[in-house]
Structure 1
């Protein structure tokens, strides 16, 4: 595997910051969850299409059946991750939904161990546990409320498992396929899957006010093309575990944005939980040389 041109942590953190806007944009849209997810992916594919068709379409012929299958599964997982997560925002707060959908280390640690035989250091487990503990604190108020909030929390938790599966499949396929080709295929599959979901659910593809179309485009540009695409790039060099722990910063940013934009109040447990999440992530990235040796794969 070739040496990364920049340290993978840099695009990962840029991706995490852009993802913090995702829940905010979804809350600003008046369309149903499935339609919002569809246009997010559809516009992403449209934006990527010129680059793929002009420079990368020849790579399609060299893709193996296994990589086609894994890419398709990743696309379906991504599709239903968005559908369930966007739907969860109709029942629970931005802070709680975003926290639960980012509890990926729980799934990533198990997945990388089972499928890639990656060993976990005590430091990685402890830092992940601290960050997860902070995430639970942030959503503690909604857990006690029950009812609609609890239902929304469960949708977000399922969406969390799906996004981890998407990253795990990508970790394998990205060893052999370029970023643009892999991302274009996955986003295209995801778009088609969501299209049929919208038809089956009876949601409307339009018309919508001009503001909705603007937020659809913003979802495609920031969280998708700057968020998930940067994660796909990083998967060539780092483990899914690294991205999963870094993403735990997303709910902190989303909660702060929701406070200023929607006046969603921040209770004491959410503030304390956010600080704990930051402490866990800080512990994880301390002594970056050892982390780099553990997670950045070398060799041809």
Structure 2
């Protein structure tokens, strides 16, 4: 394997900060959730279009009817993931919302168990129990804080389930297509879905203050294209587990930023529950061999 010019952990660190900014940008925009999601996806598609049409458009011929169907379903799930997650940020804190959305690895396990009959292990069950205890603690604390915060937590959990469904439907198609082509198709379907949603809901496409348009564009560039692109680049040089673990720091980054920007203070149940969730997911995604190798090198 070729040696990277930059240590992979540097792009991973920048990627974590990039995705952490997603919730911050959403809270800074004055538009409704469907509109924010629509412009995020629209600008992502427009920014990717030149590269796609210059180098990858011919790959569309490889798509079968099944591929188009699964990609379309994935795009719809992605659209409603953004709608519900962005809406959750109106009711609950950035910290609670982002922690609950990071339960995605456990939702993914549930999906692969039912759809692909993957085996349940004791480690998985233990990780699930730990993470569920943490999420219940967050939700209980938010319910004590206010009913609307609890409602926001539930929206975040549903958004988490939807992003898992998006990944499950897309993983088969992704094996046969480049990242750019697959992303372009799914983002395109997602954009159309969000356009219809906004029209049906009667939400306004504008006008918005100039600053809102900047946030729309930054949502497309920073967490969508910049953050996840860096993760995809890093995966060539490091284990998938390293990236999975790094993404778990998104709620921490988002919570710190929310504290300084919005003065969002965390209560004890949010801190304890969030840490328990992160420990549970770490336990789920961590590779014991990776740690054994690490400690052998240190010895």
Same fold, TM-score > 0.5, yes or no: yes
Kindly report which structure 2 residues correspond to 1:107-122, keeping only aligned pairs within 5 A, or say none.
107-122=107-122
Kindly report which structure 2 residues correspond to 1:160-171, keeping only aligned pairs within 5 A, or say none.
160-171=160-171
Tell me: CA distance 1:5–1:194, structure 2 relative to 1, closer, same or farther (3 Å): farther
Aligned partner of 1:50 in structure 2 is 50
Aligned partner of 1:287 in structure 2 is 288
Contact 2:16 2:227 in 1 (8 A): yes
Question: 1:216 aligned to 2:219?
Answer: no
Measured after TM superposition, the shift of residue 29 of structure 1 is 0.4
Tell me: CA distance 1:12–1:62, structure 2 relative to 1, closer, same or farther (3 Å): farther
Contact 1:74 1:170 in 2 (8 A): yes
**Structure 1 residues 280-289 or 64-73, which shifts more?**
280-289
- Alpha-carbon RMSD across the aligned residues, in angstroms, is 3.5
**Structure 1 residues 267-276 or 251-260, which shifts more?**
267-276
1:204 and 1:186 map into 2 onto residues whose CA distance is 24
The TM-score, its normalising length taken from structure 1, stands at 0.82
Measured after TM superposition, the shift of residue 138 of structure 1 is 3.8
Gaps of 5+ in 1: 292-300
Aligned partner of 2:295 in structure 1 is none
1:14 and 1:69 map into 2 onto residues whose CA distance is 34
Contact 2:12 2:246 in 1 (8 A): yes
The TM-score, its normalising length taken from structure 2, stands at 0.83
Tell me: CA distance 1:182–1:4, structure 2 relative to 1, closer, same or farther (3 Å): farther
**Structure 1 residues 136-145 or 42-51, which shifts more?**
136-145
Tell me: CA distance 1:178–1:72, structure 2 relative to 1, closer, same or farther (3 Å): same
Kindly report which structure 2 residues correspond to 1:124-139, keeping only aligned pairs within 5 A, or say none.
124-139=124-139
Contact 1:14 1:226 in 2 (8 A): no
Question: 1:71 aligned to 2:90?
Answer: no
Give aligned pairs, total.
290
Kindly report which structure 2 residues correspond to 1:151-162, keeping only aligned pairs within 5 A, or say none.
151-162=151-162
Question: 1:23 aligned to 2:7?
Answer: no
**Structure 1 residues 109-118 or 77-86, which shifts more?**
109-118
Determine which structure has more spread, i.e. the larger CA radius of gyration: 2
